[in-house]
Structure 1
């Protein structure tokens, strides 16, 4: 199981903390820059160790503000990219599941029941949601298991999980079928195969 180092909410909090640090550091930098300018007006010499130390601190603070702004921008960009990728993956997963359902020849009602089985609902809950008899749901579930070549709920769920985790064997064919559907280029001449 892959653990997330920075869950989504934590990344948002991290961005907020970085923004707060940038603001605090910018205020400190302005204070030190103002103090250096005031001390320089009074003393007029850059060889004063106190003035030199404050100048270095002000430059370091400005550099820190710039670095943190770049870091915050990168963090926000990574979070945005990850969210887009997650949205794409979720949509792609639904398309792959639909491709399996097409291969098995599931009816519309069976597809609804299969999705609810994958979500973890039992037959009685599915019957309540679909407003049908529990016996009807059991019959549809039995048909789903038969068409998918499985013996029951657990094997049906594990079959799909196994296919998603497989090394592009059946999943590759499901993706190819999905791509063919979306591009409408699934003619025998385009693929170079003859039937």
Structure 2
């Protein structure tokens, strides 16, 4: 996107310089003709003023375009830096997530949970309700409640909140 914007700015610069060049050249040619015709000094000063104003406006516009181009380049650099930072964060977060998943699995194994119970425990930690879990796993809600009770018994924990807190307290302490 920034490359497109820079190309547009370059086209704007070319058009602007061309227009001001045409104005300056036209006024200069007219001034030369006026000098040859010996027109009154007032007319000559008037056109010289127009020429000066055109030059000042051209320079001012070029400075504005130059400043905007610098800002665009700076923003493009900042965007690139943020994208690099975001990619690094995502990579780091993926590793942390993988490590946390391994810790969960190790603890579930220590508690002697079956693969199905591990899955249910993970869904409970994620905050899903019994109905959601039963729909996700295509089982009855009663079966999920029974499996959750088995998980709490094997882990020695009282309920869903304590199960989640068991892992989250360690994570944030």
Partner of 1:98: 105
Structure 1 vs Structure 2 CA RMSD: 3.7
Q: How does 1:43-122 map to 2 (within 5 A)?
A: 48-122=55-129
Establish whether residue 146 from structure 1 lines up as the match of residue 130 from structure 2: no
Larger RCO (alpha carbons 8 Å, 6+ apart): 2
> In the aligned structure 2, how far is the partner of 1:39 from the partner of 1:31?
12
Q: Using the TM superposition, give the Cα deviation of residue 114 of structure 1 relative to its aligned residue in structure 2, in angstroms.
A: 0.6
In the alignment, which residue of structure 1 is the partner of 2:36?
A: none
Pairwise CA distance, 1:124: 4.6
Quickly say closer, same or farther: Cα 1:95–1:52, change in 2 above 3 A. same
The whole-number CA distance in structure 1 between the counterparts of 2:146 and 2:125 is: 17
Query: Is the counterpart of residue 28 in structure 1 residue 28 in structure 2?
Result: no
**Count of aligned positions:** 150
What are structure 2's unaligned runs of at least 5 residues?
A: 29-50
Corresponding residue number in structure 2 for 1:12 = none
Partner of 1:162: 169
Change (3 A) 1:137 1:60: closer
Query: Contact 1:127 / 1:137 at 8 angstroms: preserved in 2?
Result: yes
Query: Structure 1: which 5+ runs fail to align?
Result: 1-15, 167-195
TM-score under structure 2 length normalisation: 0.61
* Distance of aligned partners of 1:130 and 1:70 in 2 relative to their CA distance in 1, 3 Å threshold: closer
**Counterpart Cα distance in 2 of 1:136 and 1:118:** 18
Q: Displacement of 1:111 after TM fit? A: 0.3
CA distance in 1, matches of 2:102, 2:150: 21
In structure 2, relative to structure 1, the CA distance for the partners of 1:37 and 1:61 (3 Å cut) is farther
Secondary structure of the residue aligned to 1:57 is helix
Task: Name the structure with the higher helix share.
Answer: 2
Q: Is the 8 A contact 2:17 2:58 kept in 1?
A: no
